[in-house]
Copies of this chain bind each other. A is one copy, B any other.
Amino acid sequence: MSTYQNRSIVMSKRPEGEIQDGDLSLKTSPVRDLAAGEILIKTLWLSLDPYMRPRMNDAKGYMDPLGIGDVMTGESVGRVVESQSDQYAVGDIVTSYSGWQEYYIAPGDQERMYKVNADGVPLQAFLGVAGMPGRTGYCGLSYLGKPKAGETVVVAAASGPVGTVVGQTAKKLGCRMVGIAGGAKKCAYVVDVLGFDACIDYKSGDLKQKLSEACPDGIDVYFENVGGEVTKAVAPLLNEGARAPICGYVSAYNATDMAAVETPFHILGALPKPPEHRFFLVTEWQDQHAEITQLLADRVKSGELKYEETIAEGLENAVEAFKGMLKGENFGKQLVHIAD
């Protein structure tokens, strides 16, 4: 028997709307011995992301729903502490979909598990700007947004890891970059540190008017990740030939009523001259996973790609951090630091 004790966060009850006390709980169980070909990963950093909320619902989406008693889904960076696989050695650093737990046993050929070449890059960056959110921002913007120098690009949640990468990538290409974020502090950071040309505080009201003033030449690329009122403010400003890659619309993720939600597809599709817009998953560019991860990691290492993070300490604080993130209380990438 292994000497490790595992702690995990499981879904005890399916939430309706916002997550309540008792929906998620901490569980302790011994770690079993490895079978041939398996590795044991010790979680170091856990990523918290908006997509985790819909996974808790009892409806088939583009991923299967969690069952009652299941460990919460999540990607982490961890260290291999035992290995029965010839593909991994003890000490290797990997990203994997371990879930919210301190130890994770995986087969050596686990899908979506990757060795990380840390090389001076903070490990947690591989969950943020050099990880799935970063690749989402980079690929969605580059391959579907197709920004050209001089064009105006708009992204919401601008201080988050996706928005951060979208904005700094577009700036590098010579675009006018306008962000939207919640609160004066985030907006100041987006302009002063990330180098956006403007950032609008959606909490201060008058979004339509302010966005219109920040985009005197209209909008050519709208990277969609929030939906709702932001999309409605963006829509009338879109130039002919505009592009709007859609990676999600988190403003609706706590909605309890599908049929009445006006998705970005409805808002954009029904415009007199709709922009090019479609939903995408970053896995479309799976064959470029290593290359784009390296490109983003290099920019982190050189200091060119800046980012912010909010760190909760210990697995026992993951639930509160998750609830806060869904309300936009985090500043930058939301992480849980599990171990060193």
* Shortest Cβ gap from A101 to chain B (Å): 23
A269 to B258, CA, bound (A): 19
Complex interface: chain B residues within 8 A of A279 (CB): 265-266, 268-270
Q: For the complex, is A114 an interface residue (Cβ under 8 Å from B)?
A: no
The stretch from A57-65, A180-188, A211-219, A330-338 touching chain B is: A57-65
Q: For the complex, is A1 an interface residue (Cβ under 8 Å from B)?
A: no
Complex interface: chain B residues within 8 A of A267 (CB): 62
Q: Establish whether residues A54 and B260, one from each chain, have CB atoms under 8 Å apart when the complex forms.
A: yes
* Shortest Cβ gap from A51 to chain B (Å): 9
The stretch from A5-13, A160-168, A248-256 touching chain B is: A248-256
**How would residues 252 to 291 of chain A score, 1 for a CB under 8 Å from any chain B CB and 0 otherwise?**
1111111111110111111010100111110010000000
A277 to B246, CA, bound (A): 13
> Which residues of A58-75 have CB atoms within 8 Å of chain B's CB atoms?
58-62, 65
Q: For the complex, is A53 an interface residue (Cβ under 8 Å from B)?
A: yes
* Shortest Cβ gap from A54 to chain B (Å): 4
- 5 additional contacts, CB 8 Å, given A53-B259, A265-B265? A62-B266, A65-B260, A256-B256, A269-B280, A270-B284
Complex interface: chain B residues within 8 A of A62 (CB): 262, 266-267, 270
Complex interface: chain B residues within 8 A of A258 (CB): 252-253, 255-258, 261
Complex interface: chain B residues within 8 A of A246 (CB): 265, 269
A61 to B257, CA, bound (A): 10
Can you name 17 A-B pairs with beta carbons within 8 Å? A54-B260, A59-B257, A59-B260, A59-B261, A61-B261, A61-B262, A62-B266, A62-B270, A65-B260, A246-B265, A253-B259, A258-B258, A263-B263, A266-B279, A268-B278, A270-B279, A274-B278
Complex interface: chain B residues within 8 A of A268 (CB): 278-279
**How would residues 275 to 314 of chain A score, 1 for a CB under 8 Å from any chain B CB and 0 otherwise?**
0011111001000000000000000000000000000000
Top 4 closest pairs, chain A to chain B, by CB: A269-B279, A54-B259, A59-B260, A57-B260
A53 to B257, CA, bound (A): 11
Q: Establish whether residues A263 and B265, one from each chain, have CB atoms under 8 Å apart when the complex forms.
A: yes
Q: Which residues of A are in contact with B by a Cβ distance under 8 Å? A: 53-55, 57-62, 65, 246, 252-263, 265-270, 272, 274, 277-281, 284
Complex interface: chain B residues within 8 A of A265 (CB): 246, 263, 265, 278-279
A104 to B60, CA, bound (A): 43
Known contacts A59-B255, A256-B256; A269 and B261 CB within 8 A of each other: no
A284 to B271, CA, bound (A): 8
A303 to B55, CA, bound (A): 51
A53 to B259, CA, bound (A): 8
Q: Establish whether residues B269 and A259, one from each chain, have CB atoms under 8 Å apart when the complex forms.
A: no
* Shortest Cβ gap from A23 to chain B (Å): 15
Q: Establish whether residues B270 and A280, one from each chain, have CB atoms under 8 Å apart when the complex forms.
A: yes
Most buried by B among A62, A258, A262, A267: A258
A281 to B269, CA, bound (A): 9
Complex interface: chain B residues within 8 A of A60 (CB): 260, 262
